[in-house]
Amino acid sequence: MDFKRNAGILLHVTSLPSPHGVGTLGTTAYEFIDWMEKAGLSIWQVLPLVPTNYGDSPYQSVSSTALNYYLIDFDILHKKGLLKKKDYETRRFGDYAGKVNYSLLFTEKTKVLRLAFDKFEKKDPEFISFEAKGEYRDFAVFMTIKAMHEYHPWNLWDKKYQSYSKELEEEILTKHKEDYLFWIWTQYEFLDEWNKLHTYAKIKGIEIMGDMPLYVAYDSVEVWKHPELFVLTEDKEPKLVAGCPPDCFTEDGQLWGNPVYDWSYMKKTNYAWWNERIQKAFGLYDILRIDHFRGFAQYYAIPYGLPNARIGEWMDGPKFDLFKDKLDYRIVAEDLGFIDDDVRTLLKQTKYPGMKILEFAFDGSKDNEHKPSNYKENYIVYTGTHDNMPLYQYILDLGPNALDTFLIDLKEECNKLKVEMNQGSYEAVTETVVELAFASIANTCIIPVQDMLALDGSSRMNLPATVSTSNWSYRVLKNQLSDKLATRIKNYIVKYNRTR
């Protein structure tokens, strides 16, 4: 994959400004693309667009391929004649423009979408054709039953519904047809809005980089309907779950709890499920980042039921076998964490670009692979990811010795890359690190919006291995995406030859 020298921004759709509680695919998304064009940016990186479930994480979804109906825009539905302004403008979706209130979204957004669906013409030929393709049927059947059970996980449903069968599906399609069609419509409407937005981005010279989680949630349509894809007991309980072993950051490791794949079964099917999943993703995005890419080389499996990730073992994934026919795909490998020779071999075989993180770079070690002077071109450099503490707060939290090391290292890297170092304030140091990313040899430079704005820890997108209303809820304020910021970024882009 050949990435030209360019730059982008990391901002999830939910984090966009909007008047109705969460970022959507409406006006402010178009305005954000306009702002990106003004700043000279050419890649918009988003997080997974799948529906969120327990903990509001896009990495724990009820479906690996369905689309998040929270992102459907009310004003667009109003223009289509499906909503009156009073249907949504009188409702409360949150109290603060800088945070998503998922609790209110859960109770209020679906009610408004139902009102729109009631007015929608179900006999529209395009909609009938969309439903007939069956692409989102599994999701719609699953969500219909889930709603019948007050959205509880499938393993807590009435016994009759806990196992998929063709007969059960037919019963849902006939006895609960209106509810089923509602969930189909959410996908139909999302795709209509998304495809128009994506086309607009292309016209403006902006590509969208999507994100694919490695794993699916236990409470997902895939585990419910296709238990054969996972390492489960006869009762469909996990035998092994995913996570990360203990390291210098977490003494208990990270217990994610996702069921792990039965890779031997998947190999027998020539990886049909994965092939379809990746193809669908490229129907939405121009570039695809695959999260926890190292799990395809080896993955860490923990016996189900343990309280933490201290006890587990590394097991072989599919390695190159899964990707041998995908070498021309524009895939980015999230290769962070514990990297061994197996992972390095897989990256070399696929030639997919890996990621470098400047927040990890300035520790005093000359061999640190995150230092810009150690890069090769085929990397994507970030100041941080959605899982990192925003850079400004990270620097602020460094102890005296670590801060001295950070600044000495930073100055040395700035000298090597001919970047003027400004350490007059923590904001200035943050700006210097951002500029260093633009100056690096890495083909692509992507900066989270929090780091472009030098925001503190309250803007953190996610603290891994925790469930909190602070996670996934950050939103940028409209006035923060200023002309002044766009000019500063454009200057970096011109100066370091990252023009579109």
Report the SS3 class of residue 240. strand
Q: Which of 131, 334, 335, 435 is catalytic?
A: 334
Q: Which of 179, 189, 222, 291 is catalytic?
A: 291
Using CA atoms, how far apart are residues 154 and 180, in angstroms rounded to an integer?
A: 17
**Phi, psi (degrees; rounded to nearest 5) at 19:** -80, 0
Q: Contacts by 90-99 with C-beta closer than 8 Å and gap 24+?
A: 93/20, 93/21, 93/22, 94/21, 94/22, 97/17, 97/475, 97/477, 97/478, 98/474, 98/475, 98/476, 98/477, 99/473, 99/474, 99/475
Residue 233 CB: number of other CB atoms within 10 A? 10
**Phi, psi (degrees; rounded to nearest 5) at 476:** -80, 145
Query: Do 370 and 355 form a contact (C-beta atoms < 8 A)?
Result: no
Q: Which of 31, 34, 369, 387 is catalytic?
A: 387
Residue 334 known to be catalytic? yes
| Sign of the dihedral through C-alpha 123, 125, 128, 130 | negative
Residue 325 known to be catalytic? no
Residue 321 known to be catalytic? no
Strands (DSSP E) contained in 170-239 are 207-212
Residue 486 neighbours by CB under 8 Å, 6+ apart: 35, 38, 39
User: In the structure encoding, which two tokens stand for residue 69, read together?
Assistant: 């109906």
Q: What is the chain's Cα-based Rg? A: 23
Task: Please identify every residue annotated as catalytic.
Answer: 291, 334, 387
